Structure 1
């Protein structure tokens, strides 16, 4: 008989393993010595050790699922309990128990990780929904549409939640996208209608602009073109495929009209420039009539100059006040000379001036007599009072005499 701490071989060749519950028969050996028998069954034990070690490494280093790991543990545990091997089978059971704890711990960690991922996914989807609902009210049609498409891709990359939560969030997300699409479609439909109306309006404006392009009624037509331009701007843009062509026709019609007007105005400006030179020469000639010495000759000369002036025609508007002012100044000077001559030669005015002068002279002479009488009577106060009155009458007399001199003495 042969034995070791974990098993023995009896005299019949039966092999036993020792366990905490007692000995258990694991096989028989008839082909060699008991020591060889124990060595054989110990190698089977080492085989179990290797298998358990491999499973421990798989659990630690791979993503083996808890379910698969538990299945493998149960399988190995069955092998250990029914093992035809000699060794510390209890130690193998203990290693399997620890492995169960490890698997359970990994299961809890993965469960917690999944819960965390689910919470993060839910939060991420709620944020996507909130952003989508905000974008649903946007009128930045291009950028908002692109962002909503990007949100869909982000959504697809997130883990699914429980069916109820995922469905509810997706419903809100999808509804926001649909609402935005409906608003955008309605906006562009309205915009298309506006552009069609703008096209019709601009067609009408182009037709009128083209009909006016050959007009020679310069001022009213130019004003009408300004009105048409105001209406053009107010009409808004037509469809892209019509806008440029309509504008080119509209602007082309204006260019034809304004080019013709500019050519005419250039000719007119040149003519008016020559007119200005002629009128400046006439004004210079008229100014040589001043000061007026011979009223009759000056009047006749100015009349002849004025007739030539009227025959010249228009001058540039900005020069008109200056050159006309020179002629008007000469005309006023001649009129002033005429008025002075009339006053000098008017008999009635001369008679009135002479009568007034006589009255004032008589009053002055009378005051002289009264002053002399007051002084003779020794009444100096009265004489002084009469003297002040005399000063006023004398001043009036001097002025009247000066006016009389203007009538020739």
Structure 2
């Protein structure tokens, strides 16, 4: 007979394993060799169970093996241990399985807590997505809001599902917000399309008028109308993109035809007016040679000839006009002043009035002179001084009258 701390083989070749309660259980029989070989064989069976339990322990600790699968595997091993045809500390293996059950249960609770935490985080995340989507549903930043909503959908898809009721309710709000935004955006762009179509029609009319005016030679009124058309163009707003550039090119092209033609005409006019200015400056030089006026009749005739040539020349540049015309006006005023002086000198009625006034003033001066002499002779100096002041005033008037009479040649 052969024995071991955990089993023995009797004389008949029956193999026993010792149990936790101190008893024994038959695990097999061995007839092919020695008792030691029998024990070694059944101990290898035990070692195989040890390896399987070790592997399961590592799977539970290091992999995401589900609690359900782990429990099934443990029960399977427990059945093998209970009915094991092996020799060894089977009770220790059972205890290892008991500890493993505890580990699986702990993992189950951890996963339950983690799952609840993840579900709570997923709920909060989806609620946040719903709130943001509902805010975006009122936005008019169509491109940015649309892109953000698409991003929210991708985020939603990446989140775990909640319980069916909660998930459906949140998804309904989320989907409703997206639909509301899409509906508003569609209505906005439909209205915008309508506005742009109206703008296209209005700009077609503006282009037609601009093209009709392009060959006009009424430079001022047409240029003013083009300015008005440009203001109307800006006020109309943009047409559809596929029409806007073409309409603008036609509109600008029509204006370019008109303003190019006007520029050419104005360039010719400017050259002509620059030449006219030279001619008028020469005539102004000639007119200024008449000053000072010594022979009014000859000067008047010469100026008339100069002025006739002046009028025949035509326009000069606007900015040069005041200066050159001012020079001619200066000569013209000098002629007018000379004519007025000549008229005063040769007017009989005016001469008579001047002579009469001079005589009256001379008589008054003589009278006052006599009165002053009498007052001084009488020693009345105060009266004499008073009369002297009056005499000074009458003498000044007399001097002025004599000067005017001298202008008449008197």
Q: TM-score, normalised by structure 1?
A: 0.90
* CA positional deviation for 1:145: 2.3
1:16 touches 1:23 (CA, 8 Å); kept in 2? no
Q: Does residue 104 in structure 1 map to residue 127 in structure 2? A: no
Aligned residue in 1 for 2:19: 19
Per-residue CA deviations over 1:214-247 (Å, capped at 9, x if unaligned) read 3333322332222222222323232333333333
SS in 1 for 2:140: coil
2:28 touches 2:85 (CA, 8 Å); kept in 1? no
* CA positional deviation for 1:83: 2.7
Per-residue CA deviations over 1:10-51 (Å, capped at 9, x if unaligned) read 566554433343413223546255555444443333232222
Whole-angstrom distance in 2 between the partners of 1:322 and 1:370 = 60
Aligned residue in 2 for 1:273: 274
* CA positional deviation for 1:197: 1.7
Per-residue CA deviations over 1:39-81 (Å, capped at 9, x if unaligned) read 4443333232222112112212222111111111112222223
2:15 touches 2:30 (CA, 8 Å); kept in 1? no
Q: Which moved more, 1:226-235 or 1:330-339?
A: 226-235
* CA positional deviation for 1:141: 2.6
* CA positional deviation for 1:334: 0.5
* CA positional deviation for 1:368: 2.4
Q: Which moved more, 1:328-337 or 1:16-25?
A: 16-25
* CA positional deviation for 1:173: 2.0
Aligned residue in 1 for 2:385: 384
Distance 1:236 1:27, change over 3 A: closer
Per-residue CA deviations over 1:148-200 (Å, capped at 9, x if unaligned) read 22322222222222222222222222222212221222122122222222222
* CA positional deviation for 1:115: 2.5
Whole-angstrom distance in 2 between the partners of 1:100 and 1:383 = 154
SS in 2 for 1:393: helix
Whole-angstrom distance in 2 between the partners of 1:227 and 1:388 = 74
Aligned residue in 2 for 1:320: 321
Whole-angstrom distance in 2 between the partners of 1:329 and 1:383 = 51
The 5-angstrom pairing of residues 231-270 of structure 1 reads 231-270=232-271
2:19 touches 2:25 (CA, 8 Å); kept in 1? no
* CA positional deviation for 1:8: 4.2
Distance 1:27 1:261, change over 3 A: closer
Q: Which moved more, 1:184-193 or 1:252-261?
A: 252-261
Whole-angstrom distance in 2 between the partners of 1:207 and 1:295 = 64
Aligned residue in 1 for 2:221: 220
Whole-angstrom distance in 2 between the partners of 1:29 and 1:400 = 177
* CA positional deviation for 1:369: 2.2
Whole-angstrom distance in 2 between the partners of 1:30 and 1:401 = 179
SS in 2 for 1:27: strand
Aligned residue in 2 for 1:361: 362
1:59 touches 1:69 (CA, 8 Å); kept in 2? yes
The 5-angstrom pairing of residues 186-201 of structure 1 reads 186-201=187-202
1:14 touches 1:25 (CA, 8 Å); kept in 2? no
Q: Which moved more, 1:118-127 or 1:68-77?
A: 118-127
Per-residue CA deviations over 1:60-105 (Å, capped at 9, x if unaligned) read 2222111111111112222223333333222222211111111112
- Corresponding pairs, count: 409
The 5-angstrom pairing of residues 327-406 of structure 1 reads 327-406=328-407
SS in 1 for 2:26: strand
Aligned residue in 2 for 1:137: 138
Whole-angstrom distance in 2 between the partners of 1:37 and 1:260 = 123
* CA positional deviation for 1:372: 2.3
Aligned residue in 2 for 1:5: 5
Distance 1:27 1:314, change over 3 A: closer
Distance 1:239 1:29, change over 3 A: closer
Distance 1:51 1:364, change over 3 A: same
1:26 touches 1:85 (CA, 8 Å); kept in 2? no
Q: Which moved more, 1:63-72 or 1:379-388?
A: 379-388
Which ranges of structure 1 fall in alignment gaps of 5 or more residues?
none
Whole-angstrom distance in 1 between the partners of 2:91 and 2:241 = 88
Aligned residue in 1 for 2:211: 210
